[in-house]
Chains A and B, each alone.
Chain A
């Protein structure tokens, strides 16, 4: 069979657009090829698009670009419906302001010009800086939008150290990145799906992974961290076998050799036991361990405290499956582990991450074809610190959480999320008065625990709050005073590095195809506001392209050249630790204090944590808090991904919403039967921290002790005003993050129990079903 860009040649047929330039004509239409990213939000996958524009400049059709080497023109529903996002009747395309005294009143917005908006920004920022100091400015950053990665916005534009991803314990990706950099001095080990090679899986020198473990990760709907999820299917078709570690029986788990369905949050016990099996049965790679690692004996001793029999008791996974899976992974050559969000959404996650890295290392799978690919020295770190030097040290030192959680705050130059909430509430050590949302909708059960607390604290503490977005969100409606229009991906230029640039194999270019409204991209806004607020730093860039060139291309390439390439694969090298390419000093080995991969982590130790992995029960669990079981007898896990939505986005896109009209909680049919809950019935879910309502979906995907609830829900069709008893756009109706507690983080400040809580559930008589005809009427008639 012939393959083109990862897929069967026959799927593209004989008439196709392979080899077309970045912009070309197709009949009356102009086609622009682009790798879109943000907005709509997504992980940076760099999928390829062909954007068809008519003579009037209207985007009339969106199709996958078969020239993209990884996806070959395949798309998920969120880009297939891109037109419906761009021209959605509820899109906001002009700046608007509202007097802060009218927060939450939907009819009080007034359209203004960009000039007026910039003037307002400058005067409000200056006021706050003069009265309280630059540290009184706080950025609330979200995930999957360019705004969240626009680090210079904090340090170099506003001049504040308080750039803050608002999720408790930064329970998303960064804990894994940080752990990897402590343990092996690289940002993130990705599975090797031959994404760097022109011939993909057929490239000489590439070896297909014989086994992949999906650890707390469902990559098909999520495309996690820019890994093209369906590459797993490409690999499995070619023979890769699977092990899944997931409380849920996902569709992929039904195709796995081992589906290890553990109790949520007990992953570290399982990982330690698997290490123990591999070490005690001598299934490990002797050479790699002897020459390239540090602390193996200590690790062996530590994991011996967690024999599979004990882990089976803790996790609920049959003991023979723990042995079987460990042996299968160790014997496969090569093998990869794709680790997911469950590593971060667990206060014991840093130890889990350490164990998973150890599994990769003991089996000799690091930086080998078909194993784990890793970035070279300095990869993925350039953008984090960009603009940081523009800030005086005494201001930088005021970052919230820097003293308490140096591991967290220094690794990503972010203020600690939980401490920022407390600072908003208490005004200690100083008040936060100006807020800026950088691609965030934190009240809508996305990236914040206890969103009502955030809501109240923001309203109380902030004198002024601004957002840059495409749609009015409940967060902006409730707390913002200035709404600035954000350009959607077909309206902007930019770049997208897959795997967030940590282990990059592809760099895509977002090309602009249309002008619509007055939206600016995060990059443009950053640059233009920078020129006004901090001209000393920003005058060195003569235009926004000069800024992109510096920020995204390390000054090595011009955007004008890059746009024509649309995207390119990045050559990777294997065995870099044997050639000196993993260390900044160019010496052999890894970029760690010992120069080796550290089973015994000297950095964990220096941050006050145990240098070796250990198991901790989740803060609320059947074993940790049995006294709570009478009231909250079930384990609650949240946030399983859907194809239809990216976190809180896409609810106003009718064809996305139609796939998942209502917020769902999965419940086992036997449990539902005992509780008198019917399939499709609305239920109340609650625990000691909060409560919400969802619709029951009966499925054996969860066992009888576990519930899985969706996240990110709000209802763009609902009453937007604060007088709505369920909050702006019904934001409190199905808000599962109300059940997630504040500040249960790991020792280094990382991780929070979003996926391992206790809860109870009961049937409701009321019905809150979405009327899809209403959605169609409100959002289906596009505005062009």
Chain B
């Protein structure tokens, strides 16, 4: 299946937000929801003579690559309205070729509503019968069963404690040295 994406020439994205608002109008996304957002890195100074300020449109999880429009052969509405003309839509295979034309480009292959796209949980392993199986053996009852804890002889317990005192002392000595 051909994979489609959005190629962004972020050298010239001006942050006009026409993509954001076009997408909302096209899809009826209300206040607070977006199909694409323009992220901003900057301005901050690289040195006295130059500053970094990139605006990068990033499709959200509500970008469906304008399925209704592209089905009719139209370009996505963000591409159509982009004031700086920096968005391109097409098969990823063709878009990647344009990476060689110039620097400062990015390619996005969005996923519309990833949670929905994942679908409800269905165990593939179970469907494929990949579940653990167990030996079919008859087990007898335990006749010598005791719920009480296991007790050791006193001298064994004392020996264990002596070791832990030595350890504590050596930790103390180290921290005093410091």
Contacts and interface: CB of A to CB of B under 8 A. Distances in A.
Contacts of B72: 15
A776 B43 contact: no
Interface string A38-64: 000000000000000000000000111
B60 interface: no
Nearest to B48: A318
Contacts of B14: 220, 230, 233, 251-252
B80 A12 contact: yes
Interface stretch (B25-33, B109-117, B141-149, B154-162): B25-33
Contact of A655 (B24, B73, B87): B24
A421 to B, nearest CB: 36
B56 interface: no
Interface residues of A, number: 49
A7 interface: yes
B30 A776 contact: yes
A773 interface: yes
Interface in B1-49: 12, 14-18, 20-22, 24-25, 30-32, 42-45
Interface stretch (A76-84, A140-148, A159-167): A76-84
Given A64-B80, A700-B43, A76 B73 contact: no
A251 B55 contact: yes
Interface string A705-740: 000000000000000000000000000000000000
A13 B75 contact: yes
A77 B80 contact: no
A64 B82 CA distance: 10
B65 interface: no
A16 B73 CA distance: 8
A75 interface: yes
> Which of B80, B84, B87 has most A Cβ within 10 Å?
B80
A773 B33 CA distance: 12
A701 to B, nearest CB: 6
Contact of A254 (B42, B82, B88): B42
Given A63-B80, A249-B43, A254-B43, A776 B17 contact: no
B51 interface: yes
Interface in B44-73: 44-45, 50-53, 55, 72-73
B93 interface: no
Contact of B31 (A16, A72, A230, A780): A780
B77 A63 contact: yes
Nearest to A14: B73
A658 interface: yes
Contacts of B32: 658, 772-773, 776
B82 to A, nearest CB: 7
Given A63-B77, A700-B45, A81 B12 contact: no
A12 B85 contact: no
A15 B73 contact: yes
Interface string A215-240: 00000110000000110011011000
Interface string A70-110: 00111111001101000000000000000000000000000
Contacts of A582: none
Interface in A642-664: 643-644, 654-656, 658-659
Interface in B147-171: none
Nearest to B7: A10
Interface of A: 7-8, 10-16, 62-64, 66, 72-77, 80-81, 83, 220-221, 229-230, 233-234, 236-237, 249, 251-252, 254, 643-644, 654-656, 658-659, 699-701, 772-773, 775-776, 780
Given A13-B89, A655-B21, 6 more contacts: A7-B85, A12-B80, A13-B73, A74-B18, A254-B43, A654-B31
17 contacts: A11-B88, A15-B74, A63-B80, A75-B18, A76-B16, A77-B21, A80-B21, A83-B25, A230-B84, A233-B83, A251-B43, A251-B55, A254-B53, A643-B15, A699-B43, A772-B32, A780-B30
Top 8 A-B residue pairs of the complex, sorted by shortest distance between their CB atoms = A15-B73, A776-B31, A13-B75, A77-B21, A254-B53, A7-B85, A230-B83, A254-B51
